[in-house]
Amino acid sequence: MDDDWEHIAKRKGGVIMGDWTLQSVTAARGQKAHGHVYAPGLSSPLPVFLIHGVEDGPTVVVQGGIHGCEYTSVDAALQIGRKLQPEQVKGRVLVLPIANPDSFYARSIYVHPLDNKNLNRQFPGDATGTASQQLARFLFEEAYSQADALLDLHGGDMIEALVPFSIYTVSGNEELDTKAREMADVFGIKYVIADTGQVMGATDSAMAQAGKLAVIAEAGQQGILSSEWSQQLQDGVWNVLRWLGVIEGDVKPTETQLLHEFDWYRAEEAGLWYPSIGIGEKVKAGQEIGCICDEFGEPLHRYHAKADGTALFIVTSLAINRNDPLLALGDAE
């Protein structure tokens, strides 16, 4: 990127120039620190890495574990936090390997166990709200607001199969949207979704509203820790850090496919879910994509594709409750 980061640092009151502190964790220029901080909405402390470069540059947040059972994202962020050293860095990198430790240790799919809300639908949060809303506000104010860019790592939760994809928000700010699209491309995952408001309250949309860059990157599935998918997320982070000028090196070329629609299908009623397509499968409008049956095996509701698309994620749980997600299709048209 072409920004003069030294000028930006001075304009921000020299925040990059001195010590970097998050509660009791402090990293002086050229130092790395890790420890725990305490956030409202959590009963468990939040692990953090602060990597403070010798030279000025952008501030980047890398996080995993917004959803507690997306283990590949946790491992990928953890490995970035362990491997990245301050002498490599221009600027600062904050790594949150487990952004929602209560969900992680409770093995809670989708939701925060203290209020049963999806944390990635609560941003920018509410300091006086429920547990997940308070945590979202803390993360937004104490971490994201310091950052020029957020790399939010995800994967298939305990009952989700998926093909890797990434998401950026289309905000209407042409300059910001162009950079966000480029950052998503640089991350290097084949499918890139341009989110025009289908998923409200997510990290990327909150960052876009604040005029900041963000990408959600998904790899891994079904609560399985996969070194292959973890490495794919790590490789994407390293490439974006090179693109941002945080670390030295050539940006590796990537090939991506832009998807303009992200169509979610949800359960009309509780029952037994039988998907009839597989992840990555291309479907045609009108094609049957799954069926919910009653407890005697009789069909209750058959689902058909609303448009041509690619199956990006599919819920693999036989048990389905009303309003649960079933699958999502990405449409290139």
Distance (Å, whole) CA 24 – CA 37: 7
User: Are 161 and 83 members of one domain?
Assistant: yes
HEC profile of 77-115: HHHHHHHCCHHHCEEEEEEECCCCHHHHHHCCCCCCCCC
- List the domain range (segments joined by +) for residue 270: 264-331
Select from 236, 258, 280 the last residue of a domain: 258
Distance (Å, whole) CA 59 – CA 102: 26
User: Are 156 and 12 members of one domain?
Assistant: yes
User: Are 220 and 247 members of one domain?
Assistant: yes
Select from 258, 288, 306 the last residue of a domain: 258
- The residues of the chain scoring below 50 in pLDDT are 2-16
CATH of residue 281: 2.40.50.100
Q: What is the pLDDT of residue 8?
A: 40
Q: What is the pLDDT of residue 13?
A: 35
Select from 215, 230, 258 the last residue of a domain: 258
Q: What is the pLDDT of residue 333?
A: 61
Could you give the number of structural domains in the chain?
Answer: 2
User: Are 206 and 291 members of one domain?
Assistant: no
The pLDDT tens digits for 72-102 are 999 999 999 999 999 999 999 999 999 999 9
